[in-house]
Chain A
Amino acid sequence: MSSNLAERWSELPVLLAGHMLLSLAAILVGLSISLPLGILAASRPRLAAVVLNVASVIQTIPGLALLALMVPLLGGTIGYAPAFLALMLYSILPILRNTIVGLQGLDPVVREAARGIGMTEHERLWQVELPLALPVIVAGLRTAVVWVVGAATLATPVGASSLGNYIFAGLQTRNWLSVLFGCLFAAGLAIALDQIIRLLEVAARDRRRGLAISVGAALLALIVITIAPRFVPASVFRGGGPVAAELDGGHDLADQTIVVGAKAFTEQYILGSLMETRLEAAGARVERLDNLGSTIAFDALRTGEIDVYIDYTGTIWATVMNRPEPINRHAMLAEMTGWLYAEHGILALGGLGFENAYGFAMARDRAEALGVVSLADLADHADGMSVGGDAEVFSRPEWVNTRDQYDLGAMQTRAMDAAFMYGAVRDGQVDMISAYTTDGRIAAFDLLVLADPRSVLPPYDAVILLSPQAAADPALVDVLSGLVGTIDSDAMREANRRVDLDRETPAQAAGWLSGHVASNPGDDQ
Chain B
Amino acid sequence: MSEAAPPVLEVRKVSKIYAGVVEAVRAVSLTVEKGQLLVLAGASGCGKTSLLKMINRLEEPSGGSIMFGGKDISGEDAVALRRRIGWVMQGDGLFPHMSVRRNVGLIPAMAGQDAARVELRVREMLDMVRLDPLEFGDRMPGELSGGQRQRVGFARALAGRPELVLMDEPFSALDPITRDGLQQDFRQLQADLGFAAVMVTHDMAEALIMADAVAVMRDGRLIQQGTPHSLMTAPADEYVSDLLESPRRQMRAISELVQ
| A residues adjacent to B (C-beta < 8 A) | 109-110, 112-120, 123, 127-128, 131-132, 205
Say yes or no: B89 contacts A116, CB within 8 Å: yes
Q: Can you list 29 contacts pairing A with B, beta carbon distance less than 8 Å?
A: A109-B89, A109-B91, A109-B93, A110-B96, A112-B58, A112-B89, A112-B93, A113-B87, A113-B89, A113-B93, A113-B94, A115-B58, A115-B82, A116-B56, A116-B87, A116-B89, A116-B93, A117-B82, A117-B87, A117-B157, A118-B80, A118-B83, A118-B87, A118-B160, A119-B110, A120-B79, A127-B106, A128-B97, A205-B97
Contacts of A127 in B (CB 8 A): 95, 106
How far, in angstroms, from A123 to B83 measured CA to CA in the complex? 13
Closest Cβ of chain B to A203, distance in Å, is 14
How far, in angstroms, from A205 to B99 measured CA to CA in the complex? 12
Contacts of B89 in A (CB 8 A): 109, 112-113, 116
The 8 Å CB contact of B97, one of A109, A116, A123, A132, is: A132
Minimum CB distance partner of A114 in chain B: B95
Contacts of A118 in B (CB 8 A): 79-83, 85, 87, 107, 110, 160
Contacts of B87 in A (CB 8 A): 113, 116-118
| B residues adjacent to A (C-beta < 8 A) | 56, 58, 79-83, 85, 87, 89-91, 93-97, 106-107, 110, 156-157, 160, 166
How far, in angstroms, from A213 to B169 measured CA to CA in the complex? 44
Say yes or no: A117 contacts B107, CB within 8 Å: yes
How far, in angstroms, from A10 to B246 measured CA to CA in the complex? 86
Closest Cβ of chain A to B191, distance in Å, is 24
Contacts of A113 in B (CB 8 A): 87, 89, 93-95
Max chain B Cβ within 10 angstroms of own Cβ: one of A114, A115, A116, A120:
A116
How far, in angstroms, from A115 to B78 measured CA to CA in the complex? 10
How far, in angstroms, from A160 to B156 measured CA to CA in the complex? 56
With A115-B58, A118-B107, A118-B110 in contact, is A132–B79 under 8 Å at CB?
no
How far, in angstroms, from A112 to B95 measured CA to CA in the complex? 11
**Top 3 A-B residue pairs of the complex, sorted by shortest distance between their CB atoms:** A113-B93, A118-B82, A116-B87
Contacts of A116 in B (CB 8 A): 56, 58, 82, 87, 89, 93, 166
How far, in angstroms, from A118 to B79 measured CA to CA in the complex? 5
Say yes or no: B95 contacts A128, CB within 8 Å: yes
How far, in angstroms, from A175 to B81 measured CA to CA in the complex? 72
Say yes or no: B93 contacts A110, CB within 8 Å: yes
Minimum CB distance partner of A121 in chain B: B79
How far, in angstroms, from A119 to B87 measured CA to CA in the complex? 12
Contacts of B106 in A (CB 8 A): 117, 119, 127
Closest Cβ of chain B to A283, distance in Å, is 65
How far, in angstroms, from A114 to B56 measured CA to CA in the complex? 13
Contacts of B79 in A (CB 8 A): 118-120
Minimum CB distance partner of A113 in chain B: B93
Minimum CB distance partner of A115 in chain B: B58
Contacts of A109 in B (CB 8 A): 89-91, 93
Contacts of A123 in B (CB 8 A): 110
Say yes or no: B95 contacts A110, CB within 8 Å: yes
How far, in angstroms, from A123 to B89 measured CA to CA in the complex? 19
How far, in angstroms, from A119 to B85 measured CA to CA in the complex? 12
Not counting A117-B83, A117-B157, A119-B79, a sample of 15 additional A-B residue pairs whose C-beta atoms are within 8 angstroms of each other reads A110-B93, A110-B96, A112-B58, A112-B89, A113-B95, A115-B82, A116-B58, A116-B87, A118-B79, A118-B82, A118-B83, A119-B106, A131-B97, A132-B96, A132-B97
Contacts of B160 in A (CB 8 A): 118
Contacts of B95 in A (CB 8 A): 110, 113-114, 127-128, 132
Closest Cβ of chain B to A33, distance in Å, is 26
Closest Cβ of chain A to B81, distance in Å, is 8
How far, in angstroms, from A127 to B96 measured CA to CA in the complex? 11
Closest Cβ of chain A to B60, distance in Å, is 13
Contacts of B156 in A (CB 8 A): 117
Closest Cβ of chain B to A251, distance in Å, is 68
Contacts of B85 in A (CB 8 A): 118
How far, in angstroms, from A205 to B97 measured CA to CA in the complex? 8
Closest Cβ of chain B to A508, distance in Å, is 61
Contacts of A114 in B (CB 8 A): 95
Contacts of B56 in A (CB 8 A): 116
Contacts of A131 in B (CB 8 A): 97
How far, in angstroms, from A113 to B58 measured CA to CA in the complex? 10
Minimum CB distance partner of A107 in chain B: B96
How far, in angstroms, from A113 to B95 measured CA to CA in the complex? 8
How far, in angstroms, from A115 to B57 measured CA to CA in the complex? 10
Contacts of A132 in B (CB 8 A): 95-97
Contacts of A110 in B (CB 8 A): 93, 95-96
How far, in angstroms, from A123 to B166 measured CA to CA in the complex? 21
How far, in angstroms, from A117 to B97 measured CA to CA in the complex? 16
How far, in angstroms, from A123 to B112 measured CA to CA in the complex? 13
Contacts of B97 in A (CB 8 A): 128, 131-132, 205
Contacts of B93 in A (CB 8 A): 109-110, 112-113, 116
Closest Cβ of chain A to B113, distance in Å, is 14
Contacts of B107 in A (CB 8 A): 117-118
Closest Cβ of chain B to A370, distance in Å, is 74
Max chain B Cβ within 10 angstroms of own Cβ: one of A120, A123, A131:
A120
Max chain A Cβ within 10 angstroms of own Cβ: one of B95, B160, B166:
B95
Contacts of A119 in B (CB 8 A): 79, 106, 110
Closest Cβ of chain B to A209, distance in Å, is 16
Max chain A Cβ within 10 angstroms of own Cβ: one of B79, B81, B107, B160:
B79
Minimum CB distance partner of B94 in chain A: A113
Minimum CB distance partner of B57 in chain A: A115
Contacts of B90 in A (CB 8 A): 109
How far, in angstroms, from A205 to B98 measured CA to CA in the complex? 10
Closest Cβ of chain A to B158, distance in Å, is 11
How far, in angstroms, from A116 to B81 measured CA to CA in the complex? 10
How far, in angstroms, from A131 to B97 measured CA to CA in the complex? 7
